[in-house]
A and B are shown apart, each in its own frame.
Chain A
Amino acid sequence: MLSAPFPYIANTAGWITAEAGRQPWLIYGLMRTHEGVSPHVSAGNALFTLIGFMGMYVVLAILFLLLVYREIDHGPEAA
């Protein structure tokens, strides 16, 4: 039971390592991150969608936990 969260932690940590580790390159040795920015998408718009995605994922996480806990409470079918 206690091991359940660890795949999520490992997965997310791996992703963060990959994304943070490659900075400042977008394509290693070819293209810098600041060269890949869309010139017309403002910081405000990016912030708006970032908050939107965070809100969406918080709601999803809560629903996920709710359903998982219900399932655990329910227990396995009797053999």
Chain B
Amino acid sequence: MQTIWFMLVAVMIAVYVVLDGFDLGAGIVHLLVARTDRERRQVLRSIGPVWDGNEVWLLAGGGTLYFAFPALYASSFSGFYLPLMMVLWLLILRGISIEFRNHIDSLVWKPFWDVVFGGASALLAIFFGAALGNVVRGVPLDDANEFFLPLWTNFGIGREVGILDWYTVLVAVAAFATLLVHGALWVALKTDGELERRARKAAQAGWWALLPLTAAITWCSFAIQPRLGASFGARPWGYVFPLLAVAGLIGMRALDRREPRAVLVLVAVHRGDADQRGVRAVSLCAAVEHRPAARADGLQRGCRAVRIEGGAGVVHSGNAAGYGLLRVYLSELCGEGGAGG
């Protein structure tokens, strides 16, 4: 029974990371790749119908955690009180920046909300990464299974840990890079022309940063959390998840060159024993998606025309929410283009 509940919570958090990951990522690359007002609207419209639906997965995950593991919920929500409140503030700022942006047509108003949107998205990626780092590293529980972490102490992993130490900061940077690539690929998938080209370049640059970061957090995770290795040793099938993550990293790169319209959505969840009560932690979720760059040879040019129609079809299907997203997304990926929505 606990196993089923654990799997439910794990799946919800993983789906949240994948789905909200791309719109957080779109926020991160928003200021980098979209220069004109029209391009920025394109980015916002690509996530417009789905971002709030995606965030419901976080609520669902939190709610399920509360029902199924109340002791864990009580202990972690008071222990991580300060960062959780900050995450709430960032989510509020991000939401209103999307909603308020287009209400006043002014040279101050719009760029201001664009910066709030980009900044809040980037900080959220970093906060979620740091949270993941904390869960993997573990927290010092007292006799009553309670704890409270200050934001930081001395950035070392000793007896007095803070939310931010060198390990959680490293995971935060890796999460930022992951979501940057994730979001850039989403923007490239949903747009065309100059914007698509810049998004794809950002994704490629991010990929090179992601590679050493992934290697580094993998090594550091096993080094600072010995139970991780023990857990994998006891349940070797668990290696499927990190292998999927590696396959995603390679696949994203390999398919960028060859097969048009090939898509890879990979979710890797690896788990380690995180606290004494045996509640296991969900961790790394990497999602990778791909869409080929438009190239100027004859064959590809034919594909491109279809794709632009398809892209427009998706952008117009503005009322697809939540589950609808996956359908639109998948039909787009399977080559049906504008049929989705």
User: Which residues in A have some Cβ–Cβ distance to B below 8 Å?
Assistant: 38-42, 45, 48-49, 52-53, 56, 60, 63, 67, 70
Contacts and interface: CB of A to CB of B under 8 A. Distances in A.
B108 interface: no
B96 A60 contact: yes
Given A56-B92, A67-B103, A39 B81 contact: no
A38 B92 CA distance: 24
Interface string B72-103: 00100011011001000100100010001001
A70 B100 CA distance: 13
B222 interface: no
A12 B85 CA distance: 22
Given A53-B85, A60-B92, 17 more contacts: A38-B74, A38-B81, A39-B78, A39-B144, A39-B146, A40-B79, A40-B146, A40-B148, A41-B78, A42-B148, A45-B81, A52-B89, A56-B89, A56-B92, A60-B96, A63-B96, A67-B103
Contacts, number: 37
Nearest to B149: A40
Given A40-B148, A52-B89, A56-B89, A67 B100 contact: yes
Contacts of A41: 78, 81, 148
B69 interface: no
B100 A63 contact: yes
B100 A52 contact: no
A40 B82 contact: no
Query: Which DSSP category, helix, strand, loop or mixed, fits chain A's interface?
Result: helix
B128 interface: no
B147 interface: yes
A-B interface, 7 closest residue pairs, ranked by CB to CB distance from nearest: A40-B148, A38-B78, A49-B85, A41-B81, A41-B78, A40-B146, A67-B103
A39 B148 CA distance: 9
Interface of B: 74, 78-79, 81-82, 85, 89, 92, 96, 100, 103-104, 144, 146-148
27 contacts: A38-B74, A38-B78, A39-B78, A39-B144, A39-B146, A40-B78, A40-B79, A40-B146, A40-B148, A41-B78, A41-B81, A42-B148, A49-B81, A49-B82, A49-B85, A52-B89, A53-B85, A56-B89, A56-B92, A60-B92, A60-B96, A63-B96, A63-B100, A67-B100, A67-B104, A70-B103, A70-B104
B146 A45 contact: no
Contacts of A53: 85, 89
A48 B81 CA distance: 11
Nearest to A63: B100
A40 B77 CA distance: 11
B127 to A, nearest CB: 15
Given A40-B78, A67-B100, A52 B144 contact: no
B213 to A, nearest CB: 31
Contacts of A56: 89, 92
A63 B92 CA distance: 13
B140 to A, nearest CB: 11
A1 to B, nearest CB: 21
* Residue of B85, B104, B144 with highest tally of chain A CB at under 10 A: B85
A12 to B, nearest CB: 19
Contacts of B148: 40-42
A46 to B, nearest CB: 8
B214 to A, nearest CB: 34
Contact of B147 (A40, A42, A48, A70): A40
A54 B268 CA distance: 39
B91 to A, nearest CB: 11
Nearest to B150: A45
